[in-house]
Chain A
């Protein structure tokens, strides 16, 4: 049984084929990494999966349900969460408010006009738990814009998780992080493994090979290989196209 099935997915921007007949599967609880050089179409793929972009061709199914025509909010409601490559938080809200808003996204409708949102126990407690898990408990009342870059990356993940997704799309979660922050992020993602399916786009090969159950390699919009980390390491085509000299 697969959680996410992608077949023949294509997206063109003018003459450029950003994704070309991409096929991949994500199994429940699996951490599936997508790697490839810059411009390989990895972020486009995430945008197609999250619904921010609609594909030109191909199908996307979540748990057997076709979701290719749904917009981003509808897909999020079905359980696809994501983090962004460039940190995307609500700068003027506190860290706690950021996460509480993410909890609110999955806690019924928001056409409630009078009751103070911050007094809703379920939202406040859910947000606090998630911040503590992320190690941001002490920064709860700091405006997101005043957090360090690494903390903002953590907040980004906390928000994506707070909406309780079944599939989490992670776009370079360690981008711009220092070595120690990066190691903590990898450790955290490792601790999530098995509880939630993740599709990870990442440039840090150490992180990818430490975390991934399976790896898909893309170049020029195409998938050239999918397999276990060991199989990918041993794949000649991958070595030629991407891993190059350092492996």
Chain B
């Protein structure tokens, strides 16, 4: 239970960030950790299909982009309430996952990786050329929306806790999901799809449902990211973002409930603090990642689990 203990400790720390930030008079802590939590949610969504379903999506940034643009486009058109923006973001991302899922899930292995990347790149260029909504430059969100008519989101602390609540919800959801009937089918597909089909599972249906669920949750993360940064641009769905999400999941521990939380925080904190030392921080990140993959089987979650077992 080492990983679970570590996760709850991290969540407790995250809950305390606003107080610490106020105490140390470092308001930008809210930005850093708020963003890290959003990426953790996106990584959780990717982990559902990558870690538990064995589907290596190299296009998950597309869903972040869709969620972000849904918020941005509604916002500039005067639809301000997040209770309208969020369902739109989640619905649009889920719909994109459904439509592309019919195609990408017919493939496997390297083809799956490349075709998810291809769809994400199509969206990237679509938004780049969408002059009406900022094109290359992206779209500034004029003001943060309201929550059920209340202007609470203007407070950075309120927004922070909102993201925290979504993160906690996403963790709880994925913890339940992977132990459910649906989760067992998904994990069975990763382990041995041929056997699943021989047992009578129409695996395509279940994989499609997982893909849509994952895309929808990632779209939610995109909506929160746009809200936090009051901006959305093509850069959020650049292919390197999809790669970063994979790195987070692998670093944290694929197919573990809390791995994406560890991975997202570790990746972004490394980037932040190493980035202060040198702008070539990826040179350090690369070896760190290789060490984790080689020596910490199951990523950081696996490492914590082993530490927890020591007397």
Identify the A interface with B (CB < 8 A).
Answer: 50, 52, 71-74, 76-77, 81-82, 84, 88-93, 97, 100-102, 104-106, 110-118, 120, 159-160, 163
* Residue B200 at the chain A interface, CB threshold 8 Å: yes
Is B177 interfacial (CB-CB < 8 Å)?
yes
Q: How far is A111 from B192 in the complex, measured between Cα atoms in Å? A: 19
B195 touches A88 (CB 8 A): yes
Q: Tell whether, in the assembled complex, residue A90 and residue B192 are in contact, meaning their CB atoms are under 8 Å apart.
A: yes
Least CB separation from B205: chain A residue: A111
Q: Interface size class for chain B?
A: 20 to 34
The residue that B184 contacts in the complex, of A71, A101, A160, with Cβ under 8 A, is: A101
How many contacts between A and B, using CB within 8 angstroms? 96
Q: Give min CB distance, B108 to chain A, whole Å.
A: 16
A-B contact pairs, 23 of them (CB 8 A): A52-B198, A73-B200, A76-B197, A76-B199, A84-B195, A90-B191, A91-B191, A91-B192, A93-B187, A97-B184, A101-B188, A101-B199, A102-B199, A104-B184, A105-B200, A110-B181, A113-B182, A115-B180, A116-B176, A117-B180, A117-B183, A120-B181, A159-B195
Q: Are B176 and A163 in contact (CB under 8 A)?
A: no
Contact bitstring B191-230, A, C-beta under 8 A = 1, else 0: 1101111111111001001000000000000000000000
The answer to whether the Cβ of B179 comes within 8 Å of any Cβ in the partner chain is yes
Please name all residues of chain B whose beta carbon is closer than 8 Å to the beta carbon of A97 when the two chains form the complex: 184
> What CA separation (Å) do A101 and B194 show in the bound complex?
14
10 nearest A-B residue pairs (beta carbon): A76-B200, A105-B199, A105-B200, A110-B181, A90-B191, A112-B181, A73-B202, A72-B197, A117-B181, A88-B195
> Whole-angstrom distance between the alpha carbons of A50 and B183 in the complex?
25
Could you tell me the distance between the alpha carbons of A110 and B185 in the complex, rounded to whole angstroms? 7
CA distance A73 to B198 in the complex (A): 6
Give Cα A113–Cα B183 distance, bound, in whole angstroms.
7
Please report the C-alpha to C-alpha distance between residue A93 and residue B183 in the assembled complex, in whole angstroms: 13
CA distance A47 to B275 in the complex (A): 56
